[in-house]
Amino acid sequence: MSDIKAFLQPPVMDETEKVIVSKRFKGADGKAAPFVIRVIDQETNDRLIKQATKHTKANGQVLQELDNVKYGKLLIAACVVEPNFKDSELCAYYKTMDPLDVPGRMLSSGEYKRLVQAINRLNGFTASDEEYAELEEEAKN
Protein backbone atom coordinates (compact mmCIF):
# COMPACT_ATOMS: atom_id res chain seq x y z
CA MET A 1 0.00 0.00 0.00
CA SER A 2 1.33 3.45 -0.90
CA ASP A 3 1.78 6.31 1.51
CA ILE A 4 -1.02 8.87 0.99
CA LYS A 5 1.37 11.67 1.94
CA ALA A 6 3.21 11.12 -1.34
CA PHE A 7 0.11 12.49 -3.11
CA LEU A 8 -0.37 15.54 -0.91
CA GLN A 9 1.49 17.98 -3.12
CA PRO A 10 0.96 21.71 -3.74
CA PRO A 11 -1.18 22.65 -6.74
CA VAL A 12 0.72 22.46 -10.01
CA MET A 13 -0.46 25.88 -11.17
CA ASP A 14 2.18 27.54 -9.00
CA GLU A 15 4.94 26.30 -11.32
CA THR A 16 6.20 28.90 -13.81
CA GLU A 17 9.06 29.16 -16.26
CA LYS A 18 10.63 31.98 -18.26
CA VAL A 19 11.09 31.29 -21.97
CA ILE A 20 12.56 33.34 -24.77
CA VAL A 21 10.46 32.95 -27.90
CA SER A 22 12.02 35.83 -29.82
CA LYS A 23 14.94 38.22 -29.74
CA ARG A 24 12.65 40.95 -31.13
CA PHE A 25 11.16 41.74 -27.74
CA LYS A 26 13.74 43.52 -25.60
CA GLY A 27 13.51 44.82 -22.06
CA ALA A 28 14.84 48.18 -20.85
CA ASP A 29 18.23 46.50 -20.35
CA GLY A 30 18.40 45.58 -24.05
CA LYS A 31 18.19 41.85 -23.35
CA ALA A 32 15.55 39.55 -24.80
CA ALA A 33 12.35 39.81 -22.76
CA PRO A 34 11.10 36.42 -21.59
CA PHE A 35 7.54 35.20 -21.67
CA VAL A 36 6.49 33.76 -18.32
CA ILE A 37 4.42 30.61 -18.72
CA ARG A 38 2.72 28.43 -16.14
CA VAL A 39 1.43 24.93 -15.65
CA ILE A 40 -2.33 24.42 -15.63
CA ASP A 41 -4.16 21.61 -13.88
CA GLN A 42 -6.42 19.13 -15.64
CA GLU A 43 -9.54 20.81 -14.28
CA THR A 44 -8.55 24.04 -16.07
CA ASN A 45 -7.67 22.10 -19.21
CA ASP A 46 -11.11 20.45 -19.14
CA ARG A 47 -12.74 23.91 -19.02
CA LEU A 48 -10.66 25.02 -22.02
CA ILE A 49 -11.67 21.91 -23.97
CA LYS A 50 -15.32 22.51 -23.11
CA GLN A 51 -15.07 26.15 -24.27
CA ALA A 52 -13.47 25.06 -27.55
CA THR A 53 -15.94 22.26 -28.31
CA LYS A 54 -18.55 22.94 -30.99
CA HIS A 55 -21.93 21.24 -30.81
CA THR A 56 -23.82 20.60 -34.04
CA LYS A 57 -26.87 18.57 -34.92
CA ALA A 58 -26.82 16.07 -37.75
CA ASN A 59 -29.54 13.51 -38.43
CA GLY A 60 -31.12 14.22 -35.05
CA GLN A 61 -27.90 13.57 -33.14
CA VAL A 62 -25.76 16.13 -31.34
CA LEU A 63 -22.15 15.94 -32.49
CA GLN A 64 -19.21 17.36 -30.58
CA GLU A 65 -16.09 18.56 -32.33
CA LEU A 66 -13.04 20.18 -30.77
CA ASP A 67 -12.05 23.44 -32.48
CA ASN A 68 -8.27 22.97 -32.30
CA VAL A 69 -7.50 26.58 -33.24
CA LYS A 70 -9.73 27.96 -30.48
CA TYR A 71 -8.36 25.43 -27.98
CA GLY A 72 -4.79 26.48 -28.86
CA LYS A 73 -5.64 30.15 -28.31
CA LEU A 74 -7.36 29.38 -25.00
CA LEU A 75 -4.40 27.26 -23.86
CA ILE A 76 -1.92 30.04 -24.62
CA ALA A 77 -4.10 32.58 -22.81
CA ALA A 78 -4.38 30.30 -19.77
CA CYS A 79 -0.67 29.50 -19.62
CA VAL A 80 1.01 32.82 -20.43
CA VAL A 81 1.42 34.97 -17.33
CA GLU A 82 3.61 37.64 -18.94
CA PRO A 83 2.99 39.50 -21.11
CA ASN A 84 -0.60 39.98 -20.03
CA PHE A 85 -2.55 39.59 -23.27
CA LYS A 86 -5.58 41.21 -21.60
CA ASP A 87 -3.66 44.48 -21.13
CA SER A 88 -5.62 47.20 -22.95
CA GLU A 89 -2.44 48.87 -24.27
CA LEU A 90 -1.23 45.57 -25.74
CA CYS A 91 -4.64 44.86 -27.31
CA ALA A 92 -4.82 48.38 -28.76
CA TYR A 93 -1.29 48.13 -30.18
CA TYR A 94 -2.15 44.89 -31.98
CA LYS A 95 -5.53 46.30 -33.07
CA THR A 96 -7.79 43.78 -31.37
CA MET A 97 -10.10 43.86 -28.42
CA ASP A 98 -9.91 40.08 -28.08
CA PRO A 99 -6.92 39.02 -25.92
CA LEU A 100 -7.03 35.59 -27.59
CA ASP A 101 -5.97 37.24 -30.86
CA VAL A 102 -2.96 39.10 -29.44
CA PRO A 103 -0.39 36.25 -29.60
CA GLY A 104 -1.30 35.49 -33.23
CA ARG A 105 -0.80 39.11 -34.22
CA MET A 106 2.23 39.67 -32.01
CA LEU A 107 4.30 36.62 -32.95
CA SER A 108 5.65 35.23 -36.19
CA SER A 109 4.71 31.65 -37.02
CA GLY A 110 8.03 30.36 -35.69
CA GLU A 111 7.81 32.39 -32.48
CA TYR A 112 4.24 31.18 -31.94
CA LYS A 113 5.39 27.59 -32.45
CA ARG A 114 8.22 28.03 -29.91
CA LEU A 115 5.75 29.42 -27.36
CA VAL A 116 3.33 26.52 -27.91
CA GLN A 117 6.17 23.99 -27.65
CA ALA A 118 7.34 25.51 -24.36
CA ILE A 119 3.78 25.43 -22.97
CA ASN A 120 3.32 21.82 -24.08
CA ARG A 121 6.66 20.77 -22.58
CA LEU A 122 6.02 22.53 -19.24
CA ASN A 123 2.56 20.96 -18.98
CA GLY A 124 3.85 17.49 -19.80
CA PHE A 125 1.97 17.16 -23.10
CA THR A 126 5.11 16.26 -25.02
CA ALA A 127 7.06 13.94 -22.77
CA SER A 128 9.16 11.56 -24.82
CA ASP A 129 8.96 7.77 -24.60
CA GLU A 130 12.30 7.90 -22.80
CA GLU A 131 10.91 10.24 -20.13
CA TYR A 132 7.87 7.97 -19.62
CA ALA A 133 10.17 4.94 -19.33
CA GLU A 134 12.25 6.77 -16.70
CA LEU A 135 9.11 7.62 -14.72
CA GLU A 136 7.89 4.04 -14.88
CA GLU A 137 11.28 2.71 -13.79
CA GLU A 138 11.40 5.18 -10.90
CA ALA A 139 7.89 4.15 -9.82
CA LYS A 140 8.90 0.47 -9.80
CA ASN A 141 11.85 1.09 -7.47
pTM, 2 dp: 0.80
Peptide bond into 99 cis (omega under 30): no
User: What gap in Å lies between CA 58 and CA 42, rounded to an integer?
Assistant: 30
User: What gap in Å lies between CA 102 and CA 85, rounded to an integer?
Assistant: 6
Residue 127 pLDDT exceeds 70 = no
In the chain, the amino acid numbered 89 is: E
> Domain total for the chain?
1
Q: What is the CATH number of the domain that holds 86?
A: 3.30.2220.30
Q: What is the mean pLDDT of residues 72-97?
A: 96
pLDDT at 7: 75
pLDDT at 71: 96
Q: Which residue has the higher pLDDT, 31 or 139?
A: 31
Arithmetic mean of pLDDT over the chain: 88
CA nearest neighbour of 64 among 77, 76, 74, 51: 51
Determine how β-strand 16-19 pairs with β-strand 61-66. unpaired
**Structural domain range at position 45:** 4-140
